[in-house]
Amino acid sequence: MNPITYYIKQALADYYPDSEAASLAKLLLTQVFGFTVIELYGGKDRSFSEYEQKQLDDILIRLQKHEPVQYIIGMEMFYGLSFEVDENVLIPRPETEELVEWILKDNKEGGLRVLDIGTGSGCIPITLAKFLLHADIASWDISDGALEVARRNCRRNDVKVRLERKDVLQTSSSEEQFDIIVSNPPYITEKEKAAMEANVLEWEPSVALFVPDEQPLLFYTKIAELGLEMLVSGGRLYFEINRDYGAATVGMLERLGYHHVELRKDLSGNDRMIKAIR
């Protein structure tokens, strides 16, 4: 084992399972310190400078506090694209990639008008802007910090998204019409906090995560109501959802008059995505 890999694993041994510590070591050495495959696995020694050693030790202290490694290195991959991330935004997750994949497979025609609600890092609207043909993409978020991260990610990925600061819960309607509305809104109830990992609970922005226990569908209901006015006839509504409220979300959409409501599971077998037609 590379001696620096061993050093990292020992520093993290009391905080992470061995397999996770090994993955973190590989990520840090390749992404932060530029190790080659030969340096990582080939037994070729590489000594750290005093500056590099201090940089590594500072990172290890942050990891011991369960700060997400994505925030430490400042980026995460999503659908093959690179996104800057910091404490203002949620870290993009594989389940959201599945939602984006569904939208892309469903919508091959060009020139679609798309609204994303809850911009965050911009992973959803930017990916759609990258891969939907000639689409016009708008995206709302309540957080100035998140919108600034999304602006940088638009430049990073060379796409145009119309970013707007807007609180969806305080929005009555918009004159603009859309073919698609997509949202991955806050959906974790307060009672679920007890089961959450520290690296999420203590570091990721709570405004993007939580809803009251008594209103688990708070954002879904509001967005679906807006969709009745803002979606064209036959327009599509896509949600990422809380796995415990799949049937309830389907029922709400059907009561509002949406049709062909489809609930899908993610790769882990959890109810995770919904599509509904206006």
| Residue 141 assigned to a binding site | yes
Separation CA 221–CA 74 (nearest Å):
34
What is the C-alpha separation between 124 and 103, in angstroms, rounded?
10
- Asked whether residue 74 is marked as a ligand-binding residue, the answer is no
Does 186 belong to an annotated binding site? yes
Q: Is 235 annotated as a binding residue?
A: no
Contacts of 185 (CB under 8 A, 6+ apart): 117, 118, 168, 219, 220, 223, 239
Distance CA 118, CA 8 (A): 36
**Residue 118 marked as a ligand binder:** yes
**Residue 145, marked binder:** no
- Residue 127 in marked binding region: no
Alpha-helical regions (H) of the chain: 3-12, 18-27, 37-41, 50-64, 69-73, 94-106, 123-131, 144-157, 198-201, 218-230, 246-256
Q: Is 185 annotated as a binding residue?
A: yes
Has 234 been labeled as part of a binding site? no
Q: Is 121 annotated as a binding residue?
A: yes
**Residues making up the binding site for substrate:** 184-187
**Residues making up the binding site for S-adenosyl-L-methionine:** 118-122, 141, 184
**Residues making up the binding site:** 118-122, 141, 184-187
